[in-house]
Amino acid sequence: MSAVNPNGLLAGKVAIVTGSSRGIGEAIAIRYAMEGAKVVVSARTEEEGQHMLPGAMSTVVHRIKQAGGEAIAVRCDMGVPEDRENLVKQTVDAFGPVDILVNNAAVTFLQPISDFSDKRMRLMFEVQVFGPMHLSQMVLQSMKERGSGWILNISSHAAIHPPLSAAGGGTVYGMCKAALERFTTGLAAEVNPDGIGVNVISPGLVATPGVVYHKLINDSNRDTQTPVEHMAEACLRLVHGDPKTLSGRITYASDIMKEYNLQAAELV
């Protein structure tokens, strides 16, 4: 079993991971803590049983602390600007300026455009586009002053233009992820002179509680799943190093694992 290394790759760094009560966000938060980061676990689900899916912020924080890491939980509804502001404030109050921001939170409605409500579309863009931009704006000034920092956005293959044979229902989700990817590369170019790295990564198909609930894994794709540990390892690689050369990436977990010849650590 792997353990927390207080002198690891992210020793002393302060990291916010949104949507980290379960799934990919949980894995990223734990992997960062294993490398010595002070992690702020953020989501809407504070305790087990508050959501129809398993997972809660308290569970993730407990896992990290049990292994000897540092973490706190800050509830944040990414669709609410005041919650986003409170997330950054509580992080700074507890640990200091933010070194790493991971925009992972998402809300997804899979419906054809003909049936898609304006309310749902606006919520998806608020959580997956406007929210990441707002959080980035709030942490950038401090990063610029210190000449370092990392922002990592979590995307999806849904951002890629689908073939005509593709099943419907994912259009708005794909729109959000495409916007997030363009935001990433634009911001990366803006802040590259400031020593800040900005990247976006897609996981492939990971058997998270949400993916299982939406029945997105079937016999045709079961053999192409990405272990969540691989995604966590790839996300670790994209928040340390030289941002002059490791920035503006639109990439995938499998590609980062191969490029850097990474071996996924077992999560504590």
For residue 133, give the nearest of 195, 202, 84 by alpha carbon.
84
Transcribe the chain into DSSP letters.
Answer: -----TTSTTTT-EEEEES-SSHHHHHHHHHHHHTT-EEEEEES--STTSSSSS--HHHHHHHHHHTT-EEEEEE--TT-HHHHHHHHHHHHHHH-S-SEEEE---------GGG--HHHHHHHHIIIIIHHHHHHHHHHHHHHHHT-EEEEEE--GGGSPPPTTSPSS-HHHHHHHHHHHHHHHHHHHHHGGGTEEEEEEE--B---HHHHHTT---TTTGGGBPPHHHHHHHHHHTTSS-TTTS-S-EEEHHHHHHHTT--PPPP-
- The active-site residue, picked from 173, 213, 252, 260, is 173
Residue 94 has which token pair? 């507890």
Distance (Å, whole) CA 44 – CA 23:
14
* Measured torsion, CA atoms of residues 240, 242, 245, 250, in degrees rounded to the nearest 10: 20
173 among known catalytic residues: yes
* Secondary structure letter of residue 115 according to DSSP: G
Provide the annotated active-site residues.
Answer: 173
